Amino acid sequence: MQQLKTALTKCKIVPVVVVKDVAHAAPLANALANSGLTVVEVTMRTPAALNVISEMVKARPDLVTGAGTVLNAQHLQQARDAGANFGVSPGTSVALREAILASGWNFIPGCATPSEAMTLAEHGFEVVKLFPAEVIGGLNMLKSMAAPLPHIKFMPTGGVTLAKVAEYAAQPNVAAVGGTWIVPPTLLEAGDFAAIEKLAREAHDAANGLISV
């Protein structure tokens, strides 16, 4: 978990990507890593996802590559077998939580309420995903939870835009911000990795206070 926490702290932004073509895996990994990003979440929403994860890990072992949309124990094992460095879930059922704990694998479980976050923290999770962030209160919710729950770090994801990323990243209880805008499907399908690298660098710089947007 320390490698993941260090990577999150280093760049404060995690692109959340949906990849349909395994041929895009290596060039995408290169574009993200070359932009300064250190972590990526590849959602398990396409038939190619597991192969994409494997290829991204091979292409850029310096990029901490995670599997997103892990919903059950089977997904968890598949993601681990594919070589993913960690897993992420949109929410956390009791069955999934127990599978994660039994596996000992690096994982950022999802939550949407303070009670869910507290329960996950009680089970030893140091970083949790706040999802869908903008829908359930976004920045105001994170600010409200900072004082009573200072021991819990969040990765807000869902609806966050470039215009808000700097403010999210600056919150003391935010480990990193999940960004779905960084790798648009249109650019990925067009194979325009130069444009993706530009968006990734912009997101990195905004999250780290290097530019204002």
Catalytic residues: 41, 129
> b or e along 140-153 (b: 16 or more beta carbons within 10 Å of the residue's beta carbon)?
ebbeebeeebeebb
Contact 56, 31 (CB under 8 A): no
Measured distance CA(206)–CA(88) in Å, rounded: 23
- Rounded to the nearest 5°, which phi and psi values hold at 62? -80, -10
Measured distance CA(163)–CA(91) in Å, rounded: 26
Measured distance CA(176)–CA(170) in Å, rounded: 9
| Residue 19 CA: distances (Å) to CA of 34, 83, 120, 138, 170 | 19, 16, 29, 26, 29
| Residue 149 CA: distances (Å) to CA of 83, 120, 125, 155 | 33, 12, 13, 14
- Residue 2 is which amino acid? Q
- Residue 168 has which token pair? 């999210």
Placement of tokens 């660098």 in the chain:
201
